[in-house]
Structure 1
Amino acid sequence: MKKFTVPRIFMTVLVVLAGLTLFSCLNDDGPDIPPVKLEDVKGNYKGRLITIQGNYKKEKIIDFKVKQDTMQFDEFPIKEIVESVVKDPEKAEAALKQMAKVKYNLDYKATVNAENNVLELAFTPKVLELKIPVDGINKNTTVLLAAKQKGFFVGMDHSLRFAIVAEKITVDGAVLEPYETINYNFPFCVKTN
């Protein structure tokens, strides 16, 4: 009969433990990520907004709310719109100071993409109507907004990504020309509640 020494017994125990550890790793599928649900998108958000018009690009943080089928902006960014209508920078700045905060609701319809664990958001933007004060009169301005691609709510990190475009501006019934489209990109928005 062979005698096992302490180092051999210790080595045998280590080999068995290592084998059990490796076997348990093979059966590990990673952390359980709950599947995304339609109501997950609802809440208050803080998002990075990148506004691009021609060679002009500006970034800022913006707050908004997402309800059942609507994104609500209490202060929609209109600076580029006003500057497109009012070419004089001083008059444009004066008009912005006179105007109240512009509220805007962006309607959407969400569908679950279970394979990618995301909600796909199809937008139906409404026309944005503004009264821009210039030289004592209001310029009745209509902005045609569009969504050229779907937005996404990502189930893994509960972030929201989307973009809209101000395609056309009409001032007092006449189409504004020349005009460069304004792109509003929201590459990463997170819930604050």
Structure 2
Amino acid sequence: MKDFKLNRLIISTLALGCAWGFTSCSNDEPSPIPGIVTTESMFGNYTGSLSILSVAPGISALTDESGEPEGTTATATIDNDTIYFKDFPIKDLVMAVVGDETTADQIVAAVGPVNYNVGYEPALTPAQDSIYFDMKPEPLQLTLTLPAAAEGEEAASMNIQVNIVGAEGASYEVATSALNFQLGADEVSLGTGEDLQPLPGFNPLTLNFEMNKSKE
């Protein structure tokens, strides 16, 4: 009987030791491996700046005290291979067209918030440290309501169409969550209805975006 009790004690002790050993081993396991990087890794909300890199001769772009292009705050959301701008910053673009900040402010206020979406095709680098993407932008459409010429007349609307092209080299850096891309505005057309005419003397310009993904 004593031998039986002793055997049970030994078995219980061994079982306890094994359980402790398994627990200790599980605590020593390495941390879970981070998720695999895919082109969906760039999905998220972004904040950054937009600056105009080139403007028409004779027209001053918005610059800071050092003479560098003054960035305008820009926000965007990336999802389903599309860049969504809920309030596309058009002031610098309008400023480059009209050449007068007061007039540009009036036009921006009259147009109101502008929603603009840019589709893209992503490609992950072999090292999985960056995502390069080709943008497929559509023309940017703006509508400006003009005051009535005389009392009692209806206000007229002017349509503004900016032809947008995507520049090469658009990228997202996985380690820093930095997003950099450029959009080119190569033509502006004005008119009413579907009758749009190219704006004479417009010089193409480049819109440079430098943004970072917000932490969840």
TM-score range, shorter chain: 0.7 to 0.9
Larger radius of gyration: 2
If asked which structure has higher relative contact order (CA below 8 Å, sep 6+), I would say 1
Determine the C-alpha separation between the residues in 1 that align with 2:82 and 2:75. Answer: 14
Unpaired runs of at least 5, structure 1: 1-31
The aligned counterpart of 1:165 is: 184
- Residues 161 and 92 of structure 1, relative CA distance in 2, 3 Å threshold: closer
> How many pairs align?
162
Query: Corresponding residue for 1:22?
Result: none
What is the CA deviation profile of residues 50-97 of structure 1, one whole-angstrom value per residue up to 9, with x for unaligned ones? 223425133122111000210000111112443455566544432322
1:72 correspondence with 2:73: no
1:150 is matched with which residue?
169
User: CA separation in 2, counterparts of 1:175 and 1:106?
Assistant: 23
Specify the code of the residue in structure 1 equivalent to 2:180.
R
Q: Given that residues 178 and 210 in structure 2 are in contact (C-alpha distance below 8 angstroms), is that contact kept between their aligned partners in structure 1?
A: no
- Which residue is 1:50 aligned to? 51
Q: 2:72 — aligned with what?
A: 60
Q: Deviations over 1:114-151 (max 9, x none)?
A: 23621111100011111123444322111100012131
Residues 88 and 184 (structure 1), Cα distance of their counterparts in 2 relative to 1, 3 Å cut: closer
> Which residue of the other structure, out of 100, 104, 113, is the alignment partner of 2:116?
104
| Offset, 1:49 | 1.8
Distance in 2 between the 1:155 and 1:103 partners? Answer: 27
Q: Which residue of 1 aligns with 2:202?
A: 179
Instruction: Check if 1:115 corresponds to 2:122.
Output: no
Aligned-partner residue type, residue 47 of structure 1: G
TM-align CA RMSD: 2.4
Other-structure match for 2:214:
191
Give me the TM-score of the superposition, normalised by structure 1.
0.73
2:41 aligns with 40
SS in 2 for 1:163: strand
Structure-2 separation of matches of 1:82 and 1:188 = 21
SS at match of 1:102: coil
State whether residues 110 and 120 of structure 1, in contact with CA within 8 Å, keep that contact through their aligned partners in structure 2: yes
Q: Secondary structure at the match of 1:58?
A: coil
Q: Which has the higher strand share?
A: 1
Note the C-alpha offset of 1:33.
8.7
**Aligned residue type for 2:137:** P
Map Cα deviations across residues 4-61 of structure 1 (whole Å, 9 max, x no partner).
xxxxxxxxxxxxxxxxxxxxxxxxxxxx997631111000111222223425133122
